[in-house]
Amino acid sequence: MSEHTGRLHKLFDSNFLEYTSYVIKERAIPAIEDGLKPVQRRLLQTLHNMDDGRYHKVANVVGETMKLHPHGDASIFAALVNLANKGFLIDRQGNFGNIYTGDQASAARYIECRLSPLALEVMFNKDLTEYVESYDGRTTEPVSLPAKIPLLLLQGAEGIAVGMATRILPHNFRELLQAQIAVLKEQDFEIFPDFPQKGLIDINDYDQGNGKVRCRARIKEKNEKTITITEIPYGTTTTSLIDSIEKAAKSGKIKIMSISDYTAEEVEIEIKLPRNIYAKDTIKALYAFTDCEVPLNTNLTLIRGDFPETSTVDEVLRFNTEKLVDDLTRELEIELSRLSQKLHARLLDQIFIEERLYKEIEEVTTYERVVSTVDESLKPYIKRLEQPVTREDIERLLEIRIKRISRYDIDRQAKEIKAIRKDIKEIKISLQDVVGYTINYLEKILESYGDDFPRLSEITEFSEVKARKVALSNLTVGYNRETGFLGHSIKAENEQNDIVFSCSEYDRLLLIFSSGMYKVVPVPEKLFVGEELEYAAVFEKNVVFNIVYRDGVENLAYVKRFRSPKFILDKEYYLFAPHKRSRILLLLLGEGKHARVSLVPSRRARSNIVEIDFDQFLLKNASAKGKRVSPRVARRVVESTDRVIKERAASNLPGIEPQEDSVAEAEVPLDNGSITDTVEEENKS
């Protein structure tokens, strides 16, 4: 049994490894050499084989490509439409869909395509292309195309394989070629994405193609009640964008009256706003709660040689630039060899005809003697030739027809030889400075095609939109003291004892209990907090809290002031040492607050009332003990007005001297943590 299991494991391991390698190399991950996946490469090669300058029906192109691609016509058609809509290598005729609205292309039998002039110029060279047999052995296909532009970065790519994925964002044509020129000149350069859907992009976290790009729609305020979206983020369509806006409106995160899509050649989405809702605030909410802002995570995984690897934008660009130099060098060397052969042939013809060497063989009877005679007759002219004379050269001379000899034009032949020599000289000069030749080549490409591909996306820096600040207060939180429940599904019944307030789903609630315990929680639907909840409200920074509390151990009242404390979500803290008799006697918010403390009567005391002006006390830590109100027990504490304080001060009645602390205050630091308001950080929390 174990032997069979072991064989089965080996079979699965072997088959899975083959499948994994196939998916990675033959489907999902593009090659660094030409930036193409196999189906794209086969499509372009098929179009090149079919090229006659006219448009071809896409259905025919797909059928021809199936001779090279071992999969169905649907995948080939989808790849062709995707490649054509990128706008660089394929000219289109007919409805190829709409990248803005997400509309599909027409059927393959109704649309046509051909290679673009750019593709014909920079993508093909039979002399530089290595071919292998196709999947059925009936024809050959290229291993990679000799692309002379950094196509991988130009077009971008996305793919999911087994155990890995790639997401390479597209870049601008002009900027890529200018960066290649900078590489050749050993200058610094920076390259950032550029999207066909346009939009605004923040590239601070791009990290050479392995980080994140934030992309926003371009939103214009037509008037205070009308918003227009004219550009959309990469990876979205007007349909998906409108769906996200309607979803946010349905959940109450934003309020809109109507939304209309007028997109045709350009994006135009119009949003009308209801009463009391204004464009300026709604635009911020659109970025916070809809696909008007999307993060694009990038992962520059590619195939180099036979293996996948993760690279960077700089590395890919430098690799493509070095490859371009090598390819142009090979092209020059091949062309030099051809011109040398052509010059050699022209010089042989010139010598053979002008010097009338053909007369030397008029009396020769055998073919071998003819060949040797011509060979001997050419020896005095060897110095005029570019290379030694071979038997093949002599046989070619012997095949010259009398008609050609009789019409031989000495002047035209001399001009042609002179032109060939000039071309050879230019190539040799170019080979001496291949880098300069490559720079000139790139500049010519830029001059010919650069104006056709301007930058579409605007690079900028986004200010962070905090969800809590732009969220609508669409929830009503209630606290029912009788049941002890708090939440947005709870209805308050007693106006005096219960608590009701509005908030958004992104808010945090500060809960303070009469026992002195406090904590910060997310907005709950229904949460049991008990009957001793003293204070509940949306947490706000820098709110001043004024409290008078009873210390359970001493049974004396203390007063203190503090600002909104730092916190860790859902963690319990205490404003004073917990004790079964310790409790908050009075809690007031803000500046200019006063309190009146009624003390247990004493015969020796001039007064049994102490007036407190909270502004006279220093702001301390939330856990500080505070200042003792009196050495006597406090019977009652109520809020009083500034007028009462002044009247009692005029009567020389006692108050608290704030400058002298009768009890040492314990400064206990809180855990250093806080919850931020952005949606992303809240999700992490």
DSSP state of 17: H
List, edge to edge, every strand of the sheet that includes 527-528. 499-503, 475-480, 485-487, 527-528
Pairing of strands 508-513, 293-297: unpaired
Token pair, residue 485, equals 């429940």
Q: How far is 333 from 122, CA to CA, in rounded Å?
A: 18
* Identity of the residue numbered 218: R
Buried b (16+ CB within 10 A) or exposed e, 243-253: ebbeebbeeeb
Q: How far is 50 from 61, CA to CA, in rounded Å?
A: 8
Please answer whether residues 664 and 623 qualify as being in contact, where contact means their C-beta atoms are separated by less than 8 angstroms.
Answer: no
DSSP assignments along 491-524, one per residue: ----TTTSEEEEE-TT-EEEEEETTSEEEEEE--
Token pair, residue 88, equals 């660089």
Residues in the chain: 685
Token pair, residue 195, equals 């999207």
Please answer whether residues 124 and 145 qualify as being in contact, where contact means their C-beta atoms are separated by less than 8 angstroms.
Answer: yes
Number of alpha carbons in the 13 Å side-chain half-sphere of residue 382: 9
Q: How far is 209 from 257, CA to CA, in rounded Å?
A: 40
Which of 377, 335, 343 has its CA nearest to residue 360?
Answer: 377
Residue 479 falls in the annotated catalytic set? no
CA distances from 358 to 50, 347, 367 (A): 45, 15, 14
Buried b (16+ CB within 10 A) or exposed e, 527-540: bebeeebbbbbbbe
The active-site residue, picked from 110, 135, 278, 367, is 110
Write the CB contacts of 54 (distance below 8 Å, at least 6 apart in sequence): 114
- Catalytic residue numbers read 110
